[in-house]
A and B are shown apart, each in its own frame.
Chain A
């Protein structure tokens, strides 16, 4: 820490003479118009203060906040980095959510990054904040899209359907139709479709969850029912550009996707092979593909390298 910085840190109310204090932070419109504007964070100001000054200011404000609890410094950091939030939120603006909402969600990620920033790591705030902001936006989409409140009646029908499907598949030796499910579950086909929609479209399932959909600690997790590693599916990276995304899936997720899309097994056949229900295979496939889609989205929009502790 420099002597100058020491002096300022010892005077938490002195915000007036900081390097870059009066710098210009581009707003959203200006950012759109400026070819120099980048998603990497607040740009250098027009008065000649460059990246070094910006970093010094960041570090200075972070120290003020973390060492002395200076809320003004925190607020200033938030204001300074809102253009970064807007820039990152814009990547997701085509997914049907209001841009302003995404900026607000991203701002939460920014605030968390500022609050959790570890001064001792020597990482720039931009590097640390970017994955936090993106993560918060992605979580927003995931929460909004994948866990809606389901009416109790549909939840109960859903539970009944899971049992009925497990009973009907071995009995019929094939996947049942909607009408067969409706009859067996004492519901209308429309109710069955609605229940399946809430179940399949919005319920995510953890590999740690028990196969019967409950989370009792004594139950084995789905992960325990899945087959072991199979050499063949390692070769699929050579066969598809999904490879970078596949690397982010765990071996068992890759195994199920391999069986479905490269071996061509049906969900029922996979279910039989790994010893879980067809409904669970369906959900696991959806979940894995969703993860792949997110990873590929990130590859299309490379982010600064993550620091080691920004996984939550």
Chain B
């Protein structure tokens, strides 16, 4: 059974702590390892910090789907080309944030929707604890 959680936090750096704590709680429930969680925190921080730098936002929207041993985190909607270029794999390749995110989580998808876009990050539990 999947579980959906929606967060809307102020568009400030300090609010990222709230996002991390929610992700941490969900990851702990799925028995994510400390290292998996740390990677997930870092990916989420980098993405949302880049959004704060490039977008004019009043709030940040983050959705989390808990599905088996997987967390699917969606952030957005965003609108700036600057952020899109940082996150997406472009004809020029995968650079900067794009590389970082793909090393930290298992999948990154830029989802286009009516001129804006959101970023989906998928993180699986890497291995079952004994």
Contacts and interface: CB of A to CB of B under 8 A. Distances in A.
Interface in B74-130: 95-96, 99-100, 103, 127, 129-130
Main secondary structure of the interface of B (DSSP, over half): helix
A286 B56 CA distance: 25
Contact of A96 (B10, B24, B96, B100): B10
Nearest to A257: B100
Interface residues of B, number: 37
Nearest to B33: A175
Nearest to B31: A177
A268 B39 CA distance: 12
A260 B103 contact: yes
A289 B21 contact: no
Interface residues on A, range: 35 or more
A101 to B, nearest CB: 13
A297 B21 CA distance: 27
Given A94-B53, A96-B10, A267 B24 contact: no
B12 A96 contact: yes
Contacts of B41: 200-201
B21 A95 contact: no
Contact of A179 (B12, B31, B99): B31
Interface string B1-32: 00000000011111101001100110110011
Contacts of A297: 53
Contact of A200 (B33, B38, B52, B95): B38
25 contacts: A94-B56, A96-B52, A97-B12, A145-B14, A165-B34, A174-B33, A175-B33, A175-B35, A177-B31, A178-B34, A179-B28, A179-B31, A190-B25, A193-B28, A194-B21, A197-B20, A200-B38, A200-B41, A240-B95, A261-B103, A264-B103, A266-B35, A267-B39, A286-B42, A289-B46
